[in-house]
Structure 1
Amino acid sequence: MRRRQLTMCGALLLLVSVPALLLLSRHSTSTARRPHPRSPATTETRPLTSVRSADLINFTASTGGQGMYPWQHVHYGHWRRHVHVPGDVRTKQRIEAGPEIDELHRVLDLAAAELQRSTDEPAARPSDSRGARLRFVPGLGTEYEVYFPALRPATASEFHTVRLQRGLGPLEVTYAGLAGSRLVNIVLPYYGRFAALEAFVGRFRQLVLDAEAVVLTVVHFSEGVPALEGYQERLDRAGVAELVRETNEALGGDVPRVRLLEERGAFSHGAGWLAAAANWDKSHDVILFLCNIDMVFGREFLQRCRANSQPNGRVYYPMVFSTYNPEIVYGVIKKQVIPILTNYEKEHLIHENLGYWLDTEYEMSCQYLSDFRKFGVQFANQASESFAFRLYERFVKSEIQVIRMADRDLVQLYHRAHCTKEMGRESFNKCLKKKVMNEASKLEWGLWVYKNMGDTDDVEAFLKMVNNFKMPDGLKRSTNVA
């Protein structure tokens, strides 16, 4: 039987045989704490590694349309080692023994050695790695980025980042530095879903208690679909204001951790993000995490949000793992329903039977405020549902590097979509498609059909049965399971 081929195999099998693997570039960038002693103005004959360092500059500059080659997240634990592959049926693939694991060990060994050499972390070990990302760019080589905890951090969220690349030659370090202390402003457009907002704010409070440098901006719209009646709207508005007040009192501090902005008009993610950016102090260039109310994430995601964002340099567009309807997933196999958050906390959620990667959506992103203002203001008058994709396109066509990969710590909770014709024809059709996709996988839908409707050999009889079919009582109720 043919062995499964990981996406990374094409690169690794070509590159593993290269000798002199551990040669470091004389021109690689190190941390500001201990710069490299060699001056780039030296008149000595340049060694082979120095010549290749010049090629590495071209490597970085020549990958303009980088959205074509998404990154893959590498989870490297003591027992579990796998790559998260967006679009793959299995959602993640094990790193097999042989060339694949050997290459990963080389990457981790060299990254740890670079930290020991160029920083004040002499005890850094490959096993300390918090994970990595990689991608193969045809004709250029393989890029890696490895994360390590800071052993003596100034803040609880600091970590080391080491970037490496194998430009169809020896593996070379291109960057090693400390990051993680930047403030992340989570921007959350909101309308009419108070229970979901309360749960989101509860998870946010836990991040703050875990010493994460984060703030939350809730943009509350006055209109939305489905529309709230007058009394419901007033009750919702009062509830949101009280929730924000109570949260800030509980968290304490001189500066409120949760900010509430009132925005008139119809709910729109783009309009909410623009309003939050316009109301933030321009002199404080924070990282914006453009978010929605169904997202679940933790410190691991925030680490990657900071590591993959750089002013006028990089923006992070993670691929979200969207969860299916637990009632259908567990109903077809006659098992007790396990809540989504339970699977998330136990790290059992990333599975093809429980959800799928949103590899064609671009709403969630991390970028600096200055970059968002520079590119997002162009769509200020057309902040529609296509705002996120238009913004992504602008970044891809610019000089800014777009980091695109599946992120296992960014999960979209199942929520039954409400589709009405008030949305307009295009948005209504898009909503219906998303609603079907979010309920279950093809296999689970098929099993559910056979279980509830019988065989489908007679197509005419089957269609007649579908038209007369009534939903089982157990599935009529709302299934917004968290």
Structure 2
Amino acid sequence: MLRRGLLTWVSRVGGVLVFLCCSLSLLYVMTCSPPQSDEPPLGHALPRRGSNHPSLGGTGPGIGTGAGGTGGGGGAPAQSGGSPGVQSYQVLLQEREEQHRHYISSLKKEIAQLKEALQERSQQLKGVQESLKRGSGGPAEGQEAGIAPQGGGPGETHGARSQQADIQEFLRSQLSKAEVTAGIRLPSEYAVVPFESFTLQRVYQLEMGLTRHPEEKPVRKDKREELGEVLETALLSLNTPSTQRGAAEKTQTSKVYAPSDFIEGIRRTERDKGTLYELTFRGESTHEFRRLVLFRPFGPLMKVKNDRVDTANVPINIIVPLSRRTDKFKQFMQNFREVCVRQDGRVHLTVVYFGNEQMSEVRSTLENMSREVHFKNYTLLQLDEEFSRGRGLDVGARAWKGGNVLLFFCDVDIYFTADFLNSCRLNTQPGRTYCRTICPDTRDKSPTVSLTPLCLHSSGKKVFYPVLFSQYNPTLIYGGAEHIPTVEQQLVIKKDTGFWRDFGFGMTCQYRSDFINIGGFDIDIKGWGGEDVHLYRKYLHSNLLVVRAPSRGLFHLWHEKHCADELPPDQYRMCMQSKAMNEASHGQLGMLFFRHEIEAHLRKQKQQHNTNPKKT
């Protein structure tokens, strides 16, 4: 009886244990199985020109339909070497392996930079030791053998003083060379370095910058702090005289100078010497003033970095949103064929087309170019919706499946050179983020299991926002349509042919990872303008370094601009301002405005000449 009850109890306990083990095993498999992913492994470097690498668009054109359609990849599907779970796990392992390689390469680069900095410091230390030897009249035996002196001896103190004296002498030489106490002979009025004037609240400037304001309250932090430091130094000098004569004058008056006593200041900067400040304060009486002259000398140049930049394996994915305008697209493709295919050879083209009208012409243009120059690194995406530049660029950037590629957001009316493509590569740097997720193998009996991603971030990220040169209306520049030269001959950077489009932020070079991490475009913005400014401000509010510089190889070709009545008031105003600035320079528009007066004057002169001919 006892034995039968014991066997029943043991069988029940065994059944419960078997059920618990099965449940735990099922839960473990569900938790640690690799995620299913349809994305192919991360691509590697782009091959040289003429190659047909699948990471640059595969083996031919492709057309993706719909908002999320992709095309142009065209590569053959991955061959199955096992179950889908095994394939996904292999893809995950390849991604982690590539992240490991990127992280190791970044560490090697940082180690090389540290070695270079250490070598530079060693050379500086050697120079200090040589100055110590010269100051003491000769080295000791221990120093001759390479043994550094222990402690802070008199020779070391003398060397530090000598180095400080050298710096002071250099700064005084900067002051003596600058145009402070006396003028210098200048060849013409164009060589004059003008002053800027400023008060407590405003700066009155000749170089107006992006704001176009002749006067403004300083917005940039460096300008505000510069003027604040100058005013603080001037007040300190007025209230605490350093000489006996100044102290005697200070005892005769009880005036304590405050910022409210500041009237006006002027400043100017000589780029190779320093900045001169002249500040005027109210004095003791109505007709008395105090004038202070300050000078901020520039120090010697310092080497910050000396890197070797290899751009041989840096492809660029040029993304162009398009709706109709097939004539402009054909002109764009002529420039693309010459610069990107024949000269550079490391470029992929992604065209995002909106609608169905003229779609066949765009496809035909791409296919003809592909046959003629054997170029297949392009993707054609089609979106059956209303045109939105931000939407098109966002879809084009996310459609790329070949790894972290360098993106160039471009428009169909842009002309660029091969030098610009190199500038695009040199002025961008991806944000280096190394992440890994640890999930143990089923054969691993280690008790420590971590399912949390481990991410290490490092600095050195850059995005490039070039300032392009915008062309004026060629009909106005060259005096009629019959006198307009070829496009290549029109690309001249002069004040009468165009202007730096510093208010435009649509053309930009940035890595896909930075674009995705920053949040991409605001796709709710429809039609013309606004989406590029929102993205630009996102980067300004981040820790990324925004490189903003004029580009001599990037041009905006003139085209007639239409501002739709359906645009919101702010977008319509921006469109009209851009339209006005695109036509001609200030002087040329003035000549057009007064054209009737000029013609009347010429007619009057001609009549007077006919009435009173010159005697021969």
Q: What's the TM-score bracket when you normalise by the shorter of the two chains?
A: 0.5 to 0.7
Say which SS state the counterpart of residue 404 (structure 1) adopts: strand
| Aligned mates of 2:404, 2:593 — CA distance in 1 | 52
Match of 1:183 in 2: 315
Cα deviation 1:152-179 (Å, max 9, x = unaligned):
xxxxxxxxxxxxxx99443314132122
| Aligned mates of 1:288, 1:167 — CA distance in 2 | 38
Pair 1:219-2:363 in alignment: no
Pick from 322, 325, 329 the counterpart of residue 470 of structure 2: 322
TM-fit CA distance, 1:453: 5.6
Match of 1:306 in 2: 425
Say which SS state the counterpart of residue 422 (structure 1) adopts: coil
| Aligned mates of 1:201, 1:306 — CA distance in 2 | 21
Cα deviation 1:356-384 (Å, max 9, x = unaligned):
11111111100001111111337344576
The 1:290–1:48 alpha-carbon spacing in structure 2 relative to 1, beyond 3 Å, is farther
| Aligned mates of 2:329, 2:126 — CA distance in 1 | 53
Pair 1:362-2:510 in alignment: no
Cα deviation 1:271-297 (Å, max 9, x = unaligned):
11100111111x511110011111000
Pick from 340, 343, 350 the counterpart of residue 210 of structure 1: 343
Say which SS state the counterpart of residue 267 (structure 1) adopts: coil
Match of 2:544 in 1: 400
Say which SS state the counterpart of residue 366 (structure 1) adopts: strand
Match of 1:113 in 2: none
Q: How does 1:102-251 map to 2 (within 5 A)?
A: 168-181=299-312, 182-207=314-339, 208-222=341-355, 234=357, 236-251=358-373
Cα pair 2:344 2:418 within 8 Å, conserved: no
| Aligned mates of 1:180, 1:86 — CA distance in 2 | 36
Pair 1:441-2:601 in alignment: no
Match of 1:272 in 2: 392
Residue identity opposite 2:332 in structure 1: F
Residue identity opposite 2:303 in structure 1: E
Say which SS state the counterpart of residue 176 (structure 1) adopts: coil
The 1:389–1:48 alpha-carbon spacing in structure 2 relative to 1, beyond 3 Å, is farther
User: Could you state the TM-score of these two structures normalised by the residue count of structure 1?
Assistant: 0.56
The 1:378–1:359 alpha-carbon spacing in structure 2 relative to 1, beyond 3 Å, is closer
Residue identity opposite 2:499 in structure 1: Y
Cα pair 1:86 1:405 within 8 Å, conserved: no
Q: Which runs of 5+ in 1 are unaligned?
A: 1-28, 52-84, 89-135, 141-165, 223-232, 458-482
Residue identity opposite 2:505 in structure 1: Y
| Aligned mates of 2:552, 2:116 — CA distance in 1 | 41
TM-fit CA distance, 1:48: 6.5
Match of 1:426 in 2: 570
Say which SS state the counterpart of residue 566 (structure 2) adopts: helix
- Structure (1 or 2) with the larger CA radius of gyration: 2
| Aligned mates of 2:465, 2:126 — CA distance in 1 | 33
Cα pair 1:185 1:286 within 8 Å, conserved: yes
Cα pair 1:326 1:340 within 8 Å, conserved: no
Cα pair 1:317 1:404 within 8 Å, conserved: yes
TM-fit CA distance, 1:35: 4.4
Cα deviation 1:397-429 (Å, max 9, x = unaligned):
211111001111100000001222133433333
Cα pair 2:521 2:532 within 8 Å, conserved: no
The 1:414–1:33 alpha-carbon spacing in structure 2 relative to 1, beyond 3 Å, is same
The 1:202–1:169 alpha-carbon spacing in structure 2 relative to 1, beyond 3 Å, is same
| Aligned mates of 1:360, 1:215 — CA distance in 2 | 28
Higher helix proportion (structure 1 or 2): 2
Select between 265-274 and 307-316 the one with higher mean Cα deviation: 265-274
Cα pair 1:86 1:319 within 8 Å, conserved: no
Say which SS state the counterpart of residue 328 (structure 2) adopts: helix
TM-fit CA distance, 1:209: 1.4
| Aligned mates of 1:358, 1:49 — CA distance in 2 | 50
RMSD: 3.8
Higher strand proportion (structure 1 or 2): 1
TM-fit CA distance, 1:300: 0.7
| Aligned mates of 1:421, 1:261 — CA distance in 2 | 29
| Aligned mates of 1:272, 1:37 — CA distance in 2 | 43
| Aligned mates of 1:50, 1:309 — CA distance in 2 | 36
Match of 2:410 in 1: 291
TM-fit CA distance, 1:192: 1.2
Pick from 124, 133, 157 the counterpart of residue 47 of structure 1: 124
Say which SS state the counterpart of residue 483 (structure 2) adopts: coil
Pick from 489, 493, 503 the counterpart of residue 342 of structure 1: 489
User: Could you state the TM-score of these two structures normalised by the residue count of structure 2?
Assistant: 0.44
The 1:432–1:340 alpha-carbon spacing in structure 2 relative to 1, beyond 3 Å, is same
Residue identity opposite 2:553 in structure 1: D
Cα deviation 1:308-367 (Å, max 9, x = unaligned):
0100200000001100011111229x99333443232xxxx1000000111111111000
TM-fit CA distance, 1:188: 0.3
Cα deviation 1:96-147 (Å, max 9, x = unaligned):
xxxxxxxxxxxxxxxxxxxxxxxxxxxxxxxxxxxxxxxx8xx99xxxxxxx
Cα pair 2:316 2:405 within 8 Å, conserved: yes
| Aligned mates of 1:431, 1:87 — CA distance in 2 | 20
Cα pair 2:390 2:521 within 8 Å, conserved: no
The 1:383–1:428 alpha-carbon spacing in structure 2 relative to 1, beyond 3 Å, is closer
Cα pair 2:394 2:521 within 8 Å, conserved: no
Cα pair 2:428 2:509 within 8 Å, conserved: yes
Say which SS state the counterpart of residue 266 (structure 1) adopts: coil
Cα pair 1:179 1:307 within 8 Å, conserved: no
Cα pair 2:322 2:412 within 8 Å, conserved: yes
Cα pair 1:417 1:435 within 8 Å, conserved: yes
| Aligned mates of 1:395, 1:449 — CA distance in 2 | 41
Residue identity opposite 1:304 in structure 2: S
Residue identity opposite 2:348 in structure 1: V
Residue identity opposite 1:426 in structure 2: D
TM-fit CA distance, 1:49: 11
The 1:425–1:170 alpha-carbon spacing in structure 2 relative to 1, beyond 3 Å, is closer
Match of 1:252 in 2: 374
Residue identity opposite 2:363 in structure 1: A
Residue identity opposite 1:311 in structure 2: P
| Aligned mates of 1:50, 1:262 — CA distance in 2 | 65
Aligned residues: 303
The 1:286–1:36 alpha-carbon spacing in structure 2 relative to 1, beyond 3 Å, is closer
Cα pair 1:189 1:292 within 8 Å, conserved: yes
Cα pair 1:297 1:409 within 8 Å, conserved: yes
